[in-house]
Every structure is written in C-alpha cells, then in structure tokens.
A and B are shown apart, each in its own frame.
Chain A
C-alpha cells in the first residue's frame, strides 16, 4: 500500500516538475521578436484596410451602424470603445492612434505596452465589426495577446536600439537574457495553435468531402475564394493529387497537437504547415490569413535557431554588443 502511495506521490511530483519545466524554463526572446515584427505589420495592414473605406465600415451609415453593433452582440459580454461613436473626425483620430500603436509594435517601441494595447485595440475592432471577420482576426488577436506576456521587444527593436545608445553614454548594455516570460508567451502561442488545428481537424472529419478525398477540389472550385482566371480543368485532371492533399490536410491538422512536439517530427510538421498555408495564400487568395498562420507557427522555432540567422549577418564586433559579453 505504502509503495503504491509512494509511486503516486512521485508521479504527482514529476507532473509538477514537468509543468514547471515546460512553463518556467527561461527562454531567449528572439522567436517572440520575429513574431512581434510580423504580427505588428499584419495588424497595421489589417487596420489600414479598414481605413481604406472607414466611413463604410465604421461611420454613421456603415454596413453595421455603431449603435447597432452592441445590439447584435446580444447578451454576450462583448465590448468596444468604437460602439456608439458616430463622429467621423473622432473615428479617424482613434483609427490613426490605432495605426500608430501597431507601428510601435512592429518597430518595437515600448514593445510590451504596444502589444497589450494592440490586443485591446484589435479586440475592440473585432467586436465592432463582428460580421466581417475571419480567421485572420482571430490569429492577430491571439498573437498580440501573447506577445504582451513576453519581452517581445528585447531584441530587433527600437527599444533595444535606444538601450544601446543609452549604454554608450552611461552604463553597460544589459544582456539579452533568457526569461521565464518569454517561455510562457511562446508556450501559450504553441498550445493555442494546437487547439486550433485539433478542432479544425475534428471538424473536417465530420465532412463527407474531407473523408472521400475531394474537399481540396471543392475548396479550389469556390469562385469567391479562388484567384481570378483559375482553370479548374487542370485540377480535375489530377484526382490523385487532390485526394492526397485532402487527406494530408486532415492528417496534418489532427496530428499537429501531438507531432509538432517531438524533435524528429517537428520539422516535417512545420514544413507541412508552411506548405498548407502557402497553398491557402496562393490558391484560395487569402495571403493575409496564410501569412499570419505561418507566423504563428514560428513559435515552434527555437530562439537560438532564429537568432542564428541574424548572427550570420552580423560582424563579430556587433555580435559582441548584442550578446553583452
């Protein structure tokens, strides 16, 4: 009895140790930094498109008027500072402020504050424009949310550049150290992605066309999604390829939450992710969604690997300054 109790206690301790190791092992910030740059740029572009026709999207006679967006929300706990605003100058002022915040995130100026604000702003726009959203908006928000958790501006940022300038005058440049918060932020992105792909795969398993291997053809045959001037007959001539891509998509999505973790299978799954989302970018005309999904997948690149790309391009002197050694 005692040995059984010990075994259970040991197992419990191991679970807690593994949990701690998984979440609280410090990590370098380079992966978060590259995700920050891409996410900030995508948030900027996404909201630039709202600005393209701001009156139609947010103005007094918009597709969904400001006073009605909250009514459509019904009993749900949605919120947006854009609800009820009908003044066009005020809308423009708020919109320009939002674009400034996204630019700050992209260039890494007051990075974590900018990430937190970006998340709040993006949610406010999503709750105001609920009927016009798609996957891009979901990923934009989740990335901004998790970037605010970690030191996303610790490298490749204006924050770092300004710290370097200050260091030359006053003090030694602080090291770029591994931190717990960088790991927590990265883990949150990783796990959220696993949830997205798992339920995406489960939902597809319910569909006849995903099971019989024809779903990719029907996705491509949607006039509303496909690029202009596509000839479907070339796809019809390759039923085996269509079938293979369909099954591979489902296997990829269902298997992602398990096979993205082992070192042996991670490169394969990352390559499949890039391939699938490039396909979405090219053949379903959703370059923004495809791109942001690839960016989210970068969370599975180790910061040392990401950093190695910049170090190859740096002089030894610069490298010395960057590492602070």
Chain B
C-alpha cells in the first residue's frame, strides 16, 4: 500500500495510508479537469481585457469559441472589471406615470430612499445600468455602396453586422418594453413613458465651489436625460459648466454584448 505525506496537523500524524488516489489514473483525469476549468475561469476576463472598440484578440476569441458553452453553463462569463477602467457616471431610468387627476407622477429608478434594504435598491440600480449597457442605435449598419471593390466580401460582413445589430437592438427594445409594461401593471395605468438618465459624478472642484455636498440637492445639477438617437446626454437648457468629460456611450456593447463592463 502506498503512503502519502499528510498535511501537518496537531495530531502529529505525518503519513496516512490511502488506497491511492494520488497513485491512481483518476488523478490525471481530475488534474485535466482542473486545468480545463481554470482555463475557462481565465478565458472570460482575458477576453474582456483584450477587446478593443471594434476587435478582440484572436487568441481570446479562439479560447472563448472553445469554452464559451462551459463558461455560460457554469456562470463564469465575467470580466471582473469592478469600477474599471474608471469609476463612471450612473445610468438611471425616469418614468412618467399619468395619474387619474391629470397630474403626472415622476419616479426615478433606482431610488435609495424608496427602495430598502440596500440590496433591493442595488438590484434596481443594476437593472437600469444594464438597460443602458445594452443600448444599440435604432439605425442599422450602413450597407456597402454599389461599385466598391470587393463588394461581395463587404456584403458578407454587412450581413453579419446587420444580424448582430438586429439581435442586439431587439434585446434592448425588449428590456425597454418590459420595464414600461411592468410599470403599467404596478401603477395600474394604460401608458407609461420612460427615459434613460445619466447622473454624472461631481468633481473635487464642484464640491469646493458648491459646498453642502451632504445635501441631496447637491447632486441634482448632474442629472441629464439621454438621447435615444445617439446615446449622448441632452444638454439643452442645462447650462451646467461643471459637466465632467467621458460621457462613455459604451461603444463596445455592439461588439460583444456578453462582455459588458461590470459594476461591483
């Protein structure tokens, strides 16, 4: 019978006779599966960190192609890019709900005063962030012009892009409609309108100039509705000199919808 060194314990036993897992062929199978699993664990964040606006590392693409199904099934599809590349603005949803008296109820999601406990609030926050991250322009990709060289190749690429755009756009519209429908049921009304809202981060200079940052209304100046046409903030009538840069229209969402940036 073989022996293996046993982990040092207070009992002082140094060796333990075993039927020999470490000597059995099963060890190789287990080792192979561990390796396979670890490669799968690395593949998703590796793919995420090696993608650019319009391309992805061929190595990462190959790895993902081979392991994607296992990654999906086991819920390993994460980039782990918490608060990265930079902490950014928040994306919310504002709902306009008509009332029986003719007034309009305006509700913002998430709302940390209305939604408690904090995890309950955070679920709504992630939902509105997710809606924003899945935004895809309503305009389809442009068809290649007549008479260009390699038009047949360009048309193949266009067909693929169009299919991706259509699927992504449908997903976005589905989420949008689902939120509206849920609110109609919740408030028992015929129609609800929603809009996406961006909430920019105040900079240190804003805090110094405006002060009173512990007051809730300090943050009001940093809300802007987002245009559904170009996914940019609508600044009309909002002469706010302190708008920070980096509106981040999330250009990668169309390339790899499953590898969006993450919030912790």
A residues whose Cβ falls under 8 Å from a Cβ of B = 19-20, 23-28, 45-46, 49, 52-53, 56-57, 61-65, 68, 71-72, 74, 76-79, 122-123, 126-127, 129-136, 138, 141, 145, 177-178, 180, 183-184, 188, 191-192, 195-200, 202-204, 206-210, 214-215, 217-219, 221-225, 228-233, 236, 239, 280, 284-289, 304, 323, 325
Nearest-neighbor residue (CB-CB) of A319 within chain B: B10
- The residues of A that contact B178 with a CB separation of less than 8 Å are 62-65, 68
Q: Do residues B74 and A196 form an inter-chain contact, with CB atoms below 8 A? A: no
Query: Which A residues are in CB contact (< 8 Å) with B207?
Result: 221, 232-233, 236
A63-B127, A134-B126, A280-B264 known; A203+B79 contact, CB < 8 A: yes
| B174 contact from A71, A209, A224, Cβ within 8 A | A71
Task: With A20-B27, A71-B171, A222-B201 as known contacts, state yes or no: A134 contacts B84, CB within 8 Å.
Answer: no
In the complex, chain B residues whose CB is within 8 Å of the CB of A288: 118-119
| Complex CA distance for A287 and B6, rounded to whole angstroms | 38
B4 touches A26 (CB 8 A): yes
Task: Report which of A20, A46, A129, A204 forms a contact with B85, defined as CB distance below 8 A.
Answer: A204
Return the chain B residue nearest A50 by Cβ. Answer: B123
**CA of A79 to CA of B80, assembled, Å:** 22
Given contact pairs A46-B119, A195-B42, A221-B202, A138 touches B258 in the complex (Cβ within 8 A)? no
Question: B98 — which chain A residues lie within 8 A by C-beta?
Answer: none
B54 to chain A, nearest CB (A): 16
B36 interface contact, C-beta 8 A: no
Closest to B123 in A: A132
Q: Find out whether the CB atom of B45 lies under 8 angstroms from the CB atom of A195.
A: yes
Q: Could you tell me if B46 and A199 are in contact, using CB atoms closer than 8 angstroms?
A: yes
9 A-B pairs closest in CB distance: A207-B85, A203-B84, A199-B45, A203-B81, A131-B130, A207-B86, A77-B72, A231-B214, A232-B213
Q: How far is the CB of A229 from chain B (nearest CB, A)?
A: 5
In the complex, A79→B27 CA distance in Å? 30
Inter-chain contacts of A65 with B (CB < 8 A): 178, 181
The distance from the CB of B25 to the nearest CB of chain A, in whole angstroms, is 14
Q: Which residues of the partner chain B approach A126 to less than 8 Å between Cβ atoms?
A: 75
The answer to whether A24 touches B127, judged by C-beta atoms less than 8 angstroms apart, is: no
Mostly, the A contact residues are helix
| Chain B nearest CB, measured from A206 CB (Å) | 4
**A289 to B263, alpha carbons, bound, how many Å?**
11
Tell whether, in the assembled complex, residue B74 and residue A25 are in contact, meaning their CB atoms are under 8 Å apart. Answer: no
B22 sits at the interface (CB 8 A): yes
With A131-B127, A199-B49, A223-B219 known as contacts, the answer to whether A25 contacts B86 (CB < 8 A) is no
The answer to whether B78 touches A138, judged by C-beta atoms less than 8 angstroms apart, is yes
Q: Which of B201-245 contact A (CB under 8 A)?
A: 201-204, 207-208, 211, 213-214, 219, 222
Closest Cβ neighbor of A78 among chain B residues: B72
Instruction: Collect the chain A residues with CB atoms within 8 Å of residue B126's CB.
Output: 131-134
Q: Which residues of A contact B48 (CB under 8 A)?
A: 199, 203
* B55 to A: closest C-beta gap in Å: 16
When the two chains form their complex, are residues B84 and A204 in contact, meaning their CB atoms are under 8 A apart?
A: yes
Contact B202 A134 (CB under 8 A): no
CB pairs A–B below 8 angstroms (8 shown): A72-B175, A134-B263, A177-B16, A200-B84, A203-B49, A207-B86, A219-B87, A228-B112
- Please tell me the number of chain B residues within 8 Å of chain A, measured between CB atoms: 86
Q: Could you tell me if A72 and B171 are in contact, using CB atoms closer than 8 angstroms?
A: yes
Could you say which residues of chain B place their CB within 8 Å of the CB of A304?
8-10
CB-CB under 8 A for A135 and B84, given A23-B34, A49-B119, A195-B41 = no
Are A215 and B83 in contact, CB atoms less than 8 angstroms apart? yes
The residue on B at minimum CB distance from A135 is B264
Given contact pairs A195-B42, A304-B8, a sample of 17 additional A-B residue pairs in the complex whose CB atoms are under 8 Å apart: A25-B4, A28-B7, A28-B9, A49-B123, A61-B186, A64-B127, A71-B170, A122-B75, A130-B130, A132-B123, A134-B262, A134-B263, A135-B82, A196-B80, A200-B82, A203-B79, A209-B86
- CB of A200 within 8 A of CB of B80, answer yes
| Nearest chain A CB to B174 CB, angstrom units | 6
Chain B contacts of A285 at CB under 8 A? 112, 118
- Chain B, residues 19-56, CB within 8 Å of chain A (1/0): the string is 00110000100110010011001100110110000000
A135 contacts B262, C-beta separation under 8 Å:
yes
Interface residue B68 (Cβ < 8 Å from any Cβ of A): yes
Interface centre among B175, B186, B214 (most CB of A within 10 A): B214
User: CB of B179 within 8 A of chain A?
Assistant: yes
Shortest distance between the CB of A178 and any CB in chain B (Å)? 4
Contact of B84 among A122, A210, A228 (CB under 8 A): A210
CA A28 – CA B82 in complex, angstroms? 33
Shortest beta-carbon distance, A254 to chain B, in Å?
12
Contacts of A134 in B (CB 8 A): 122, 126, 262-264
CB of B224 to closest CB in A, whole Å: 14
* Of B84, B92, B203, most A-chain CB atoms within 10 Å: B84
Residues of A within 8 Å of B134, CB to CB, are 131
- Are the C-beta atoms of A53 and B122 separated by less than 8 Å? no
Measured between alpha carbons, how far is A166 from B211 in the docked complex, in Å?
67
B90 touches A224 (CB 8 A): yes
Tell me the bound Cα distance from A207 to B81 in angstroms. 11
Q: Which of B70-111 contact A (CB under 8 A)?
A: 72-75, 77-87, 90, 92, 110
Shortest Cβ gap from B81 to chain A (Å): 4
Given contacts A61-B182, A180-B21, A203-B49, are A224 and B199 in contact (CB under 8 A)?
Answer: yes
